[in-house]
């Protein structure tokens, strides 16, 4: 039986405005080949900004 989550990797989400890493999420490296982009609230910019996937966290 295949373990759930074995293809999920942790990635950081970085604000494209101030470059701070505000979120950590996971993505399925099998299903999701493109970089993730989310509109999320940045506590540094104090507004909703675009957050892009940045580094992979082990
Ligand atoms: Zn920001």
Using pLDDT thresholds of 50, 70 and 90, give the confidence band for residue 57: low
Q: At 7, is the secondary structure helix, strand, or coil? A: coil
Tell me the average pLDDT of the chain. 86
Where along the chain do its domains lie? 8-57
Distance 29 CA to ligand 1 centre (A): 26
- The first and second tokens of residue 55, run together, are 């580094």
| Class of the CATH domain delimited by 8-57 | mainly beta
Phi and psi at 49, nearest 5°, equal -130, 170
Within 8 A by CB and 6+ apart from 45, the residues are: 15, 17, 18
Calculate how far, in angstroms, residue 20's C-alpha sits from the geometric centre of ligand 1: 6
Q: How far, in Å, from the CA of 48 to the mean position of ligand 1?
A: 8
CA of 3 to the centre of ligand 1 (A): 36
pTM: 0.76
Give residue 30 CA to ligand 1 midpoint distance, Å: 29
């Amino acid at each position: 039986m295949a373990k759930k989550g074995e293809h999920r990797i942790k990635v950081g989400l970085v604000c494209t405005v101030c470059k701070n890493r505000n979120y950590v999420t996971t993505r399925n490296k099998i299903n999701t080949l493109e970089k993730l982009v989310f509109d999320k609230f940045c506590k540094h910019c104090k507004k909703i900004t675009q957050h892009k996937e940045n580094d992979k966290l082990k």
